[in-house]
Structure 1
Amino acid sequence: MTARLLVSTGGAFLSIGLLIPAVPRYVTGPLDAQTGWVGVSLAVTAAAGLIARPLAGRVADRSGRRAAVFAGALLLCGSSLALLLAGNLSLFLLLRGVAGVGEALVYVGLAALASDHRRPGAAINHFSVAVNAGLLTGPALAETLYAAAGFTAVWIAAAISALVPAILAAALPKTTLPKTTLSKPNAGPDPSPRHVPSRRPRSALRAGFGYLASVWGYTVVSAFLPLHLAALGTGSGGAHFLVYGIVLLAVRLAGQRLLATASPARLAVASLLLTGVGSILLAAWPSPAGTWCAIALTGAGQGLGLPAFLRMAVHGVPPGERGSAVATTTAFFDIGFLSAALTLGALAGQFGLAGGFVLAGAVSAAGALLFLPPLFRHDEHRDEHQGAPRDPSRR
């Protein structure tokens, strides 16, 4: 199951990554739209994904993880192919909305499947590596394809990449847990002492707010770093994005055991503080050297973040509710990206980039306060990967 899960995840997020540089270029090129419509196209995708998250969670929990993956992958594939016919802005925006729904379904289905694994900590970390590998590889591959054969090659490659998880979905299980452990929609409470349905909203929301705070720091790099580098006169940022990706993946790969077994709360605190300091450093040390240090810190923080937030979201949650828990937590990515992009953009226009960087860093660092109390209590997540229940006598 693990190999199929990772290949499916890599294919889905490679498809998404391929469109990252192509969408802005297509909007301002063949569609001849103003630059502002690039932001609208990003907002449409994010908003559609946000609206679709609850549906994605229900599909993953009630119809099975593979149903969510299959439906989402087909939507990604179909929306990418249809871009071949998108000759006007209205149709293009509609297709980007469809892609947002597809992203939500495939992300929730694959993440829920990873959380079902007998060693969820390790599986979630491997899943997160595949997510970022696809997202980081996609833009570079898209630039190569565009240079060779234009937008047509990029759209077709994105469709083929999305077709991989659609095909493999038939070989994926509904879940890796016994059927008897899944909650039925009309079933009564599970008599098992480990069934704690009230934990889902609490754990998923706390992880979600932490994820939102983290995304503010991520938005600084993904959306505003090129503007910062242009102001410094040091290029467009290709090398910086590469280093950011290398650091992120190095943390995930080198720290596999730590990310799989350490307290998610401790990891979340480290992630948010590193991300926050990285954003503030861009404003405090506006130089090439300062930018490199900021990129390395932010990459390390982001490397620690996603595995911690996903582990936290599903810890103690019954299998039949994990899809909804994942959907709740990951919805905060879209909320965070939209709120950060709009706010930081407005601040940049009024006070310059530095003010936005400081605010983003403050939001990320403040998010660590959500997870500080568990640092002084018994680590309730320590034996999560072994399935050992917490000893109620230990405080």
Structure 2
Amino acid sequence: MSTRAMARPRLVTPQFVLLGSAALAYFLADGMLVPAVPRYVAGELTGGNIAVGLAVAVFSLSALILRPWAGRLADRHGRSIAMVVGGIIFAVSVAGYGLADSVGVLAALRLLTGVGDAFFFVGAVTAMSDLAPAERRGEAISLFSLSLYVGLAVGPPIGESVVGAAGFTTVWLVAAGCALLAVLLALRVGETREPATGEAGGGPVRLIPRAAVVPALLLLALVWGMAGFLAFVPLYALDLGLPGAGFLLFGFAAIVVVIRSAGARIPDRLGAARSVRLSLLCATIGLALMGGWRSVPGLVLGTVVLGIGVALGTPAIMTLALDRARASERGAVMGVVSMSIDLAQGLGPATFGLAAAATTRNGGFLTAAVIAAAGLTLATRGWNRQRRPPLG
């Protein structure tokens, strides 16, 4: 065996591919619901804007609250059971949407869907961390995240097509079927949790492990600005005289996909800590360009720089967390860190809107830049002070 082969342990194994396929099937189901749920509430259930917002938001609420408990389940009983239980809850609740005759009933079912999402997602991302060699975790997370992006890119147009051709009941059943396919694939993946080894620093796993706190705050600072950007760039583009923001959103997504695929090894080559700092620096500069340079070139350049930051950030931040977590608490760590995504998706647009109302939309981007800069400061000064626990 060559020295190079010994230095680069294998990442893409049949088990890793099966796990990625399970995640793709799940996120495809999730993506189908993105356009279908609002249309169902507004059309079939004759709900207004508030009803639409409620039906969409309650999914994230239950997912947010239950992610730490999902992580504890994955640590205690295995990643496979978390994925299987989550996928089944997701499938059964979505299949029941067609029986909902009021917004309240649908909202209750959406809460259950969020429960399923919490367990499946945390189980899947923790299983991925088990399968990835430690020195290739950044690459593994980058590749794994492509299943999410592909599912959420392809799922919505499929959902709209199915609704148009066969109605809402069919799209609920198709989405449920995709979730059940994810369950079957998860069963084929099997259990990836390492056997207990009595590792140093062991003991009871906290609901919020210490190793997860700083990474969760870093991810919150990064995704906060991205969420505000996605919510308000369509309006800001009109302010600048553009016909729309479609090309900007496409370009942003394309940058993330290219870096997470062709550049999947970047976080491992640069090192997780350096990649996190670079990511938050790019996010700060990109958002500041959009807010401080009120022009089309400023918006385009800022979008590109922000896209680079987001592409590098999530894999690097999760790698930092996993590098400092005991094997027995990986699920709990991933549960807490992934909570930041749900929090940021709510707080980002809300704070952006408040800042824009008090000043202008430029002020919203500048506020998001300040939050990203706070994350950069934490990444530079705070993380290195943490004591790295010995690994088993």
Cα offsets for 1:6-59 (capped at 9, x unmatched): 001111122222222333333333333232333333432222111111220121
Equivalent residue number for residue 113 of structure 2: 99
CA contact under 8 A between 1:347 and 1:353: conserved in structure 2?
yes
Cα offsets for 1:110-154 (capped at 9, x unmatched): 111111125141322221222222223323333444444443443
Cα offsets for 1:339-379 (capped at 9, x unmatched): 223222333344332222211121112211111148989xx
Equivalent residue number for residue 325 of structure 2: 317
Q: Which of 170, 177, 181 is equivalent to 1:164?
A: 181
Equivalent residue number for residue 186 of structure 1: none
Whole-angstrom distance in 1 between the partners of 2:291 and 2:161: 33
Whole-angstrom distance in 2 between the partners of 1:42 and 1:368: 32
State which drifts further: 224-233 or 309-318: 224-233
Equivalent residue number for residue 137 of structure 1: 154
TM-aligned CA deviation for residue 194 of structure 1: 7.1
Q: Which of 267, 270, 273 is equivalent to 2:275?
A: 267
Whole-angstrom distance in 2 between the partners of 1:137 and 1:291: 27
Which aligned pairs between 1:146-295 and structure 2 lie closer than 5 A? 146-175=163-192, 177=194, 179-181=195-197, 190=198, 192-193=199-200, 201-295=209-303
CA contact under 8 A between 2:59 and 2:114: conserved in structure 1?
yes
Which aligned pairs between 1:377-388 and structure 2 lie closer than 5 A? none
Residue 37 in structure 1 maps to residue 54 in structure 2: no
Whole-angstrom distance in 2 between the partners of 1:339 and 1:299: 20
Whole-angstrom distance in 1 between the partners of 2:262 and 2:177: 31
Whole-angstrom distance in 2 between the partners of 1:143 and 1:95: 21
Equivalent residue number for residue 77 of structure 1: 91
Q: Which amino acid aligns with 1:171?
A: R
Residue 23 in structure 1 maps to residue 37 in structure 2: yes
CA contact under 8 A between 2:85 and 2:116: conserved in structure 1?
yes
CA contact under 8 A between 2:293 and 2:299: conserved in structure 1?
yes
Equivalent residue number for residue 373 of structure 2: 365
Cα offsets for 1:237-292 (capped at 9, x unmatched): 33332222111011111222222343222111111222232223322334443333
Whole-angstrom distance in 1 between the partners of 2:63 and 2:33: 16
Unaligned runs of 5+ in 1: 182-189, 382-387, 391-395
Residue 336 in structure 1 maps to residue 356 in structure 2: no
Q: When the two structures are aligned, how many residues end up with a matched partner?
A: 374
TM-aligned CA deviation for residue 90 of structure 1: 0.5
Whole-angstrom distance in 1 between the partners of 2:274 and 2:205: 23
Secondary structure at the aligned position of 2:275 is classed as helix
Q: Normalising by structure 1, what TM-score?
A: 0.85
Whole-angstrom distance in 2 between the partners of 1:309 and 1:219: 17
Distance 1:171 1:328, change over 3 A: same
Cα offsets for 1:203-229 (capped at 9, x unmatched): 211100011111111212332222223
Residue 356 in structure 1 maps to residue 370 in structure 2: no
Equivalent residue number for residue 316 of structure 2: 308
Whole-angstrom distance in 1 between the partners of 2:302 and 2:167: 34
Equivalent residue number for residue 2 of structure 1: 16
Q: Which amino acid aligns with 2:374?
A: A
Whole-angstrom distance in 2 between the partners of 1:144 and 1:368: 42
Q: Which of 85, 88, 111 is equivalent to 2:102?
A: 88
Secondary structure at the aligned position of 2:325 is classed as coil
| Percentage identity across paired residues of the two chains | 33
Unaligned runs of 5+ in 2: 1-14
Q: Which amino acid aligns with 2:283?
A: T
Distance 1:244 1:99, change over 3 A: same
Equivalent residue number for residue 126 of structure 1: 143
Cα offsets for 1:308-367 (capped at 9, x unmatched): 121112213222211001111111222222222322233334433222221112111221
Whole-angstrom distance in 2 between the partners of 1:13 and 1:150: 21
CA contact under 8 A between 1:347 and 1:356: conserved in structure 2?
yes
Q: Normalising by structure 2, what TM-score?
A: 0.85
CA contact under 8 A between 1:216 and 1:361: conserved in structure 2?
no
Whole-angstrom distance in 2 between the partners of 1:103 and 1:110: 10
Whole-angstrom distance in 1 between the partners of 2:234 and 2:166: 26
Distance 1:138 1:349, change over 3 A: farther
Whole-angstrom distance in 1 between the partners of 2:228 and 2:383: 28
Distance 1:329 1:29, change over 3 A: same
